[in-house]
Structure 1
Amino acid sequence: MNTLYQQVLDQLPYKSSFRFVDEIEHLDEEGCTGHYTYKHDSFFYEDHFPGNPVTPGAIVTETMAQIGLVVLGIYLILPELNTNKETENNKPVFPLLTSAEVSFYKMVLPGQKVTVISKREYFRFGKLKCKVEMLDENKETIAIGVFAGIIQNMRGAK
Protein backbone atom coordinates (compact mmCIF):
# COMPACT_ATOMS: atom_id res chain seq x y z
CA MET A 1 0.00 0.00 0.00
CA ASN A 2 1.08 3.55 -0.70
CA THR A 3 2.95 4.94 2.35
CA LEU A 4 0.98 8.20 2.25
CA TYR A 5 -2.32 6.29 2.22
CA GLN A 6 -1.19 4.20 5.20
CA GLN A 7 -0.24 7.36 7.13
CA VAL A 8 -3.76 8.72 6.57
CA LEU A 9 -5.35 5.41 7.67
CA ASP A 10 -3.18 5.42 10.80
CA GLN A 11 -4.62 8.84 11.76
CA LEU A 12 -8.29 7.77 11.60
CA PRO A 13 -9.90 8.44 15.00
CA TYR A 14 -11.87 5.14 15.16
CA LYS A 15 -11.43 1.76 16.86
CA SER A 16 -11.77 -1.44 14.84
CA SER A 17 -15.50 -2.07 15.52
CA PHE A 18 -16.43 1.40 14.25
CA ARG A 19 -13.84 1.92 11.52
CA PHE A 20 -15.41 1.58 8.07
CA VAL A 21 -12.33 2.04 5.88
CA ASP A 22 -10.33 -0.95 4.62
CA GLU A 23 -8.22 0.71 1.96
CA ILE A 24 -7.64 3.91 0.04
CA GLU A 25 -7.41 3.54 -3.72
CA HIS A 26 -6.93 7.19 -4.65
CA LEU A 27 -6.31 10.38 -2.68
CA ASP A 28 -5.43 13.93 -3.73
CA GLU A 29 -6.55 17.48 -2.95
CA GLU A 30 -9.66 17.12 -5.13
CA GLY A 31 -11.07 13.91 -3.66
CA CYS A 32 -10.60 10.30 -2.72
CA THR A 33 -11.75 6.76 -3.42
CA GLY A 34 -11.78 4.03 -0.79
CA HIS A 35 -13.25 0.62 -0.04
CA TYR A 36 -14.89 -1.21 2.83
CA THR A 37 -16.28 -4.74 3.18
CA TYR A 38 -19.05 -5.12 5.77
CA LYS A 39 -18.17 -8.00 8.07
CA HIS A 40 -20.82 -10.67 8.66
CA ASP A 41 -20.20 -10.57 12.43
CA SER A 42 -20.49 -6.77 12.83
CA PHE A 43 -22.36 -5.75 15.99
CA PHE A 44 -25.18 -3.95 14.15
CA TYR A 45 -26.37 -7.01 12.20
CA GLU A 46 -27.45 -8.93 15.31
CA ASP A 47 -30.59 -6.84 15.82
CA HIS A 48 -31.09 -5.18 12.40
CA PHE A 49 -33.08 -7.27 11.31
CA PRO A 50 -32.86 -10.67 13.09
CA GLY A 51 -32.78 -13.47 10.53
CA ASN A 52 -32.55 -11.01 7.61
CA PRO A 53 -29.66 -8.63 8.38
CA VAL A 54 -29.36 -5.35 6.47
CA THR A 55 -26.77 -2.63 7.03
CA PRO A 56 -28.47 0.28 8.84
CA GLY A 57 -28.63 3.56 6.91
CA ALA A 58 -26.75 5.26 9.73
CA ILE A 59 -23.82 2.86 9.20
CA VAL A 60 -23.90 3.39 5.42
CA THR A 61 -23.85 7.15 6.08
CA GLU A 62 -20.98 6.74 8.55
CA THR A 63 -18.98 4.74 6.00
CA MET A 64 -19.50 7.47 3.40
CA ALA A 65 -18.46 10.12 5.93
CA GLN A 66 -15.34 8.25 7.08
CA ILE A 67 -14.02 7.63 3.57
CA GLY A 68 -15.45 10.65 1.78
CA LEU A 69 -14.92 13.36 4.38
CA VAL A 70 -12.59 12.20 7.17
CA VAL A 71 -9.92 10.53 4.99
CA LEU A 72 -9.85 13.55 2.67
CA GLY A 73 -9.91 15.99 5.61
CA ILE A 74 -6.98 14.27 7.30
CA TYR A 75 -5.02 14.40 4.06
CA LEU A 76 -5.73 18.12 3.67
CA ILE A 77 -4.87 19.16 7.25
CA LEU A 78 -2.04 17.03 8.58
CA PRO A 79 1.22 18.97 8.20
CA GLU A 80 3.37 15.87 7.74
CA LEU A 81 1.15 14.70 4.89
CA ASN A 82 0.55 17.97 3.07
CA THR A 83 2.53 21.16 2.73
CA ASN A 84 -0.71 23.21 2.59
CA LYS A 85 -0.83 23.57 6.40
CA GLU A 86 -4.11 24.58 8.03
CA THR A 87 -3.22 23.63 11.58
CA GLU A 88 -2.34 25.80 14.54
CA ASN A 89 1.07 25.02 16.07
CA ASN A 90 0.92 21.44 14.71
CA LYS A 91 -1.71 20.42 17.29
CA PRO A 92 -3.63 17.22 16.48
CA VAL A 93 -6.82 17.88 14.54
CA PHE A 94 -9.50 15.93 12.68
CA PRO A 95 -12.70 16.68 10.76
CA LEU A 96 -16.02 16.57 12.61
CA LEU A 97 -19.18 15.92 10.61
CA THR A 98 -21.48 18.96 10.72
CA SER A 99 -24.05 17.97 8.11
CA ALA A 100 -24.98 15.14 5.79
CA GLU A 101 -27.73 14.84 3.24
CA VAL A 102 -27.95 11.32 1.80
CA SER A 103 -30.29 9.63 -0.69
CA PHE A 104 -30.37 5.80 -0.61
CA TYR A 105 -31.00 3.66 -3.69
CA LYS A 106 -30.03 0.09 -2.68
CA MET A 107 -29.54 -2.01 0.45
CA VAL A 108 -26.13 -3.09 1.70
CA LEU A 109 -25.92 -6.67 2.96
CA PRO A 110 -23.41 -8.41 5.24
CA GLY A 111 -20.22 -9.36 3.39
CA GLN A 112 -20.74 -6.75 0.68
CA LYS A 113 -17.76 -4.70 -0.53
CA VAL A 114 -18.49 -1.06 -1.31
CA THR A 115 -16.55 1.72 -2.98
CA VAL A 116 -16.88 5.31 -1.81
CA ILE A 117 -15.92 8.16 -4.15
CA SER A 118 -15.62 11.70 -2.83
CA LYS A 119 -15.19 14.93 -4.77
CA ARG A 120 -14.23 18.06 -2.87
CA GLU A 121 -16.62 20.99 -3.35
CA TYR A 122 -14.64 23.37 -1.15
CA PHE A 123 -12.14 23.54 1.68
CA ARG A 124 -11.71 26.98 3.27
CA PHE A 125 -11.62 28.51 6.73
CA GLY A 126 -11.41 24.99 8.19
CA LYS A 127 -14.64 23.77 6.58
CA LEU A 128 -14.69 20.88 4.09
CA LYS A 129 -17.67 20.03 1.90
CA CYS A 130 -17.77 17.01 -0.43
CA LYS A 131 -20.10 15.19 -2.80
CA VAL A 132 -19.91 11.50 -1.91
CA GLU A 133 -21.20 8.42 -3.74
CA MET A 134 -21.23 4.78 -2.61
CA LEU A 135 -21.16 2.03 -5.25
CA ASP A 136 -21.56 -1.74 -5.03
CA GLU A 137 -19.22 -4.27 -6.68
CA ASN A 138 -21.19 -3.92 -9.95
CA LYS A 139 -20.56 -0.13 -9.90
CA GLU A 140 -24.27 0.49 -9.19
CA THR A 141 -25.18 3.42 -6.96
CA ILE A 142 -26.10 2.54 -3.37
CA ALA A 143 -26.26 6.11 -2.02
CA ILE A 144 -25.33 9.68 -2.93
CA GLY A 145 -24.83 12.52 -0.50
CA VAL A 146 -23.31 15.84 0.40
CA PHE A 147 -21.18 15.91 3.56
CA ALA A 148 -19.66 18.85 5.40
CA GLY A 149 -17.30 18.99 8.34
CA ILE A 150 -15.14 21.39 10.31
CA ILE A 151 -11.59 21.05 11.58
CA GLN A 152 -11.58 20.48 15.34
CA ASN A 153 -8.49 21.00 17.49
CA MET A 154 -8.23 17.95 19.78
CA ARG A 155 -6.39 19.75 22.60
CA GLY A 156 -8.73 21.61 24.84
CA ALA A 157 -11.86 20.16 23.19
CA LYS A 158 -14.56 19.18 25.65
Structure 2
Amino acid sequence: MTESNTPAFTKPELPMNIQTIREYLPHRYPFLLVDRVTDITENAIVGYKNVSINEEFLQGHFPEFPIMPGVLIVEAMAQVSGILGFVMNNKKPTAGNLFLFAGAEKVRFKKPVVAGDQLVLKSELVMQKRGIYKYNCIATVDGVVAATAEIMVSHQKIEQA
Protein backbone atom coordinates (compact mmCIF):
# COMPACT_ATOMS: atom_id res chain seq x y z
CA MET A 1 0.00 0.00 0.00
CA THR A 2 1.13 3.52 -0.70
CA GLU A 3 1.16 6.24 1.91
CA SER A 4 -2.30 7.40 0.83
CA ASN A 5 -3.63 3.98 1.85
CA THR A 6 -4.57 3.22 -1.78
CA PRO A 7 -3.26 -0.01 -3.27
CA ALA A 8 -0.68 0.29 -6.04
CA PHE A 9 -2.20 0.13 -9.52
CA THR A 10 -2.02 -3.25 -11.25
CA LYS A 11 -3.08 -3.22 -14.89
CA PRO A 12 -5.29 -6.21 -15.74
CA GLU A 13 -4.68 -8.34 -18.81
CA LEU A 14 -6.09 -6.68 -21.92
CA PRO A 15 -8.30 -6.82 -23.79
CA MET A 16 -10.89 -7.64 -21.13
CA ASN A 17 -13.40 -10.00 -22.73
CA ILE A 18 -17.02 -10.35 -21.66
CA GLN A 19 -16.24 -13.10 -19.13
CA THR A 20 -13.74 -10.83 -17.35
CA ILE A 21 -16.06 -7.81 -17.57
CA ARG A 22 -18.76 -9.88 -15.85
CA GLU A 23 -16.32 -10.31 -12.93
CA TYR A 24 -16.19 -6.51 -12.54
CA LEU A 25 -19.84 -5.59 -13.22
CA PRO A 26 -22.91 -7.11 -11.55
CA HIS A 27 -25.05 -6.23 -14.61
CA ARG A 28 -26.44 -8.97 -16.82
CA TYR A 29 -28.45 -9.05 -20.05
CA PRO A 30 -30.13 -6.85 -21.10
CA PHE A 31 -28.38 -4.24 -18.93
CA LEU A 32 -24.74 -5.20 -19.40
CA LEU A 33 -23.65 -2.48 -21.83
CA VAL A 34 -19.88 -3.03 -22.12
CA ASP A 35 -18.69 -5.75 -24.50
CA ARG A 36 -14.92 -5.29 -24.31
CA VAL A 37 -12.29 -3.19 -22.52
CA THR A 38 -9.33 -2.38 -24.75
CA ASP A 39 -7.16 -0.06 -22.65
CA ILE A 40 -6.70 0.89 -19.01
CA THR A 41 -4.27 3.27 -17.34
CA GLU A 42 -4.08 4.42 -13.73
CA ASN A 43 -6.86 6.95 -14.32
CA ALA A 44 -8.53 6.14 -17.67
CA ILE A 45 -10.30 3.34 -19.50
CA VAL A 46 -11.47 2.60 -23.04
CA GLY A 47 -14.09 0.02 -23.91
CA TYR A 48 -16.89 -0.52 -26.35
CA LYS A 49 -20.47 -1.65 -26.85
CA ASN A 50 -21.45 -3.26 -30.15
CA VAL A 51 -24.98 -2.11 -30.96
CA SER A 52 -26.94 -4.88 -32.70
CA ILE A 53 -30.36 -4.67 -34.33
CA ASN A 54 -31.29 -7.51 -31.94
CA GLU A 55 -31.05 -5.21 -28.89
CA GLU A 56 -34.39 -5.17 -27.06
CA PHE A 57 -34.35 -1.38 -26.72
CA LEU A 58 -34.15 -0.94 -30.50
CA GLN A 59 -37.44 -2.79 -30.99
CA GLY A 60 -39.42 0.14 -29.58
CA HIS A 61 -37.02 3.12 -29.75
CA PHE A 62 -38.02 3.82 -32.52
CA PRO A 63 -39.35 1.06 -34.83
CA GLU A 64 -38.99 3.13 -38.03
CA PHE A 65 -35.62 4.63 -37.04
CA PRO A 66 -34.08 2.50 -34.26
CA ILE A 67 -31.62 4.48 -32.13
CA MET A 68 -29.95 3.64 -28.83
CA PRO A 69 -31.65 5.59 -26.03
CA GLY A 70 -29.49 8.36 -24.61
CA VAL A 71 -30.02 7.12 -21.06
CA LEU A 72 -28.45 3.79 -22.06
CA ILE A 73 -25.45 5.56 -23.59
CA VAL A 74 -25.01 7.36 -20.26
CA GLU A 75 -25.42 4.02 -18.42
CA ALA A 76 -22.74 2.46 -20.65
CA MET A 77 -20.37 5.32 -19.73
CA ALA A 78 -21.17 4.76 -16.03
CA GLN A 79 -20.51 1.02 -16.35
CA VAL A 80 -17.09 1.47 -17.94
CA SER A 81 -16.32 4.05 -15.22
CA GLY A 82 -17.34 1.53 -12.55
CA ILE A 83 -14.91 -1.02 -14.00
CA LEU A 84 -12.16 1.59 -13.76
CA GLY A 85 -13.09 2.26 -10.13
CA PHE A 86 -12.54 -1.38 -9.22
CA VAL A 87 -9.34 -1.67 -11.27
CA MET A 88 -7.89 1.52 -9.73
CA ASN A 89 -8.43 -0.02 -6.28
CA ASN A 90 -7.14 -3.47 -7.32
CA LYS A 91 -10.46 -5.04 -6.38
CA LYS A 92 -13.26 -6.98 -7.95
CA PRO A 93 -16.86 -6.75 -6.78
CA THR A 94 -17.80 -8.94 -3.86
CA ALA A 95 -21.14 -9.42 -2.18
CA GLY A 96 -22.05 -6.01 -0.82
CA ASN A 97 -19.13 -4.18 -2.48
CA LEU A 98 -20.29 -2.15 -5.50
CA PHE A 99 -19.78 1.04 -7.45
CA LEU A 100 -23.21 2.61 -7.96
CA PHE A 101 -24.18 5.29 -10.47
CA ALA A 102 -24.40 8.47 -8.39
CA GLY A 103 -25.03 11.19 -10.95
CA ALA A 104 -24.50 12.72 -14.36
CA GLU A 105 -23.81 16.32 -15.27
CA LYS A 106 -23.16 18.20 -18.49
CA VAL A 107 -24.73 15.40 -20.54
CA ARG A 108 -24.79 16.18 -24.25
CA PHE A 109 -25.92 14.05 -27.20
CA LYS A 110 -24.30 14.90 -30.51
CA LYS A 111 -25.08 11.99 -32.85
CA PRO A 112 -27.63 9.16 -32.89
CA VAL A 113 -26.25 5.68 -32.20
CA VAL A 114 -27.86 3.11 -34.49
CA ALA A 115 -27.76 -0.62 -35.14
CA GLY A 116 -24.40 -1.70 -36.52
CA ASP A 117 -22.47 1.00 -34.64
CA GLN A 118 -19.61 0.28 -32.29
CA LEU A 119 -19.97 2.73 -29.40
CA VAL A 120 -16.48 3.47 -28.05
CA LEU A 121 -16.58 4.48 -24.39
CA LYS A 122 -13.77 6.54 -22.86
CA SER A 123 -13.69 7.54 -19.21
CA GLU A 124 -11.05 9.51 -17.32
CA LEU A 125 -10.95 10.10 -13.55
CA VAL A 126 -10.99 13.78 -12.64
CA MET A 127 -11.78 13.62 -8.91
CA GLN A 128 -11.92 11.13 -6.07
CA LYS A 129 -13.13 12.08 -2.62
CA ARG A 130 -14.62 10.01 0.23
CA GLY A 131 -15.77 7.15 -1.98
CA ILE A 132 -17.14 9.38 -4.76
CA TYR A 133 -15.43 9.22 -8.13
CA LYS A 134 -16.04 11.75 -10.92
CA TYR A 135 -15.15 10.96 -14.53
CA ASN A 136 -15.11 12.86 -17.81
CA CYS A 137 -16.68 10.53 -20.35
CA ILE A 138 -17.00 10.54 -24.10
CA ALA A 139 -18.79 8.08 -26.36
CA THR A 140 -17.86 7.99 -30.04
CA VAL A 141 -18.85 6.12 -33.20
CA ASP A 142 -16.29 5.93 -35.99
CA GLY A 143 -14.32 8.73 -34.31
CA VAL A 144 -17.35 11.07 -34.19
CA VAL A 145 -18.61 12.20 -30.79
CA ALA A 146 -22.01 10.68 -30.00
CA ALA A 147 -22.28 11.82 -26.35
CA THR A 148 -20.33 13.42 -23.52
CA ALA A 149 -20.97 13.53 -19.78
CA GLU A 150 -19.47 13.97 -16.36
CA ILE A 151 -20.31 10.74 -14.54
CA MET A 152 -20.18 10.17 -10.80
CA VAL A 153 -20.07 6.76 -9.17
CA SER A 154 -20.09 5.96 -5.48
CA HIS A 155 -18.27 3.10 -3.81
CA GLN A 156 -20.81 1.41 -1.56
CA LYS A 157 -20.70 -1.40 0.93
CA ILE A 158 -24.19 -2.92 1.05
CA GLU A 159 -25.15 -5.38 3.76
CA GLN A 160 -26.64 -8.60 2.48
CA ALA A 161 -29.74 -10.00 4.15
Aligned ranges 1:2-151 → 2 under 5 Å: 2=13, 5=16, 7-67=20-80, 69-79=81-91, 92-101=96-105, 102-137=107-142, 139-151=143-155
TM-superposed deviation, 1:123: 1.9
Per the alignment, do residues 39 and 53 of structure 1 end up closer, same or farther by CA in structure 2, a change over 3 Å counting?
A: same
CA drift of 1:73 comes to 1.3
Query: Quick check: 1:55–1:108 contact (8 Å CA) kept in 2?
Result: yes
AA matched with 1:75? V
User: Helix, strand or coil: the match of 1:16?
Assistant: coil
Q: Distance in 2 between matches of 1:48 and 1:23?
A: 24
Superposed CA deviations along residues 89-147 of structure 1, whole A, max 9, x for unmatched, are x864121111112111000001210111111002231111000001112x111111100
CA RMSD in angstroms, aligned pairs only: 2.4
Aligned length: 147
Is the Cα contact below 8 Å between 1:134 and 1:141 reproduced in 2?
yes
Give unpaired runs (5+ residues) of structure 2: 1-11
Aligned residue for 1:24, secondary structure, equals strand
Q: Is the 8 A contact 1:96 1:149 kept in 2?
A: yes
Amino acid at match of 2:66: P
Q: Read off the aligned partner of 2:138 and give its amino acid letter.
A: E
Cα distance in structure 2, aligned partners of 1:25 and 1:55:
22
* Partner-residue secondary structure (3-state), 1:49: coil
Is the alpha carbon distance of 1:110 and 1:73 closer, same or farther for their aligned partners in structure 2, counting shifts above 3 Å?
same
Equivalent residue letter for 1:24: V
TM (normalized to structure 2)? 0.81
Equivalence for 1:84: none
Unaligned runs of 5+ in 1: 82-86
